[in-house]
Amino acid sequence: MPNRNLADIRIHYQKAALDWDSLSSDPFINLDQWIHDAIAEKLYEPTAMMLATSDNEQQPHARIVLLKGLDSGLVFYTHYTGPKGLELAQNPKAALTFFWPEMERQVRIEGYVEKVSSELSNAYFASRPRDSQLGACASAQGQVVADRRTLEANFAAIAAKFAGKSVERPDHWGGYRLLPNRFEFWQGRPNRLHDRLLFIRQEHNDWSTQRLAP
């Protein structure tokens, strides 16, 4: 193994501070602003977020998905029959994390996940590039395949099936919405004294706030 001094890698956070005066009392407004800031900075994949789920043996699983809507919750799309879809069917509690290292910012979000309506899934699917639509139909997400050629053959078969006509959204693919009960906004600070401001949902959709030690 090459000798890499991983323990010596450090970033000194010093770009900004975070206090309650700089945030809205509504965490959705804050998240929307931070995403807007990441887009304005032209960051790579500014809507990428880590989705963490757990299976029926309490084993956590995490992967990156893309935020595709922000309304009463955070909306993303995937296969219902893939691993994360099966895990969400077993346990609808999940967590999301945004990390924008160039801005020294992170947002952690926890809550419950529900499927979005068929109408919303249909509308988003129709807006996708055709090849992305075909890929969603062709792939049995998370299943073992013999080789790359098998994937490409499946894609070619689906492309032939829908040649000359629109691609229908498959039943196994659609959207989820995470309904948050907790937001944590994190800003890197010098000396590892990071700012961590927490919103916890109360009754009537009010939010309590706390500052956390880094």
Give catalytic residues, as residue numbers.
Answer: 192
Alpha-carbon distance of 87 to 98, in angstroms, equals: 21
Do the beta carbons of residue 184 and residue 107 sit within 8 Å? yes
Q: Which residues pair with 186 in a beta bridge?
A: 106, 196
How large is the C-alpha radius of gyration of the chain? 20
SS3 of residue 36 by DSSP: helix
Amino acid at 177: R
SS3 of residue 32 by DSSP: helix
Structure tokens at 205: 């959709």
Largest CA distance in the chain: 61
- CA neighbor of 19 nearest in space, from 192, 189, 201, 190: 189
Task: Quickly list DSSP for 89-114.
Answer: HH--EEEEEEEEGGGTEEEEEEEEEE
Alpha-carbon distance of 48 to 39, in angstroms, equals: 11
Alpha-carbon distance of 24 to 43, in angstroms, equals: 23
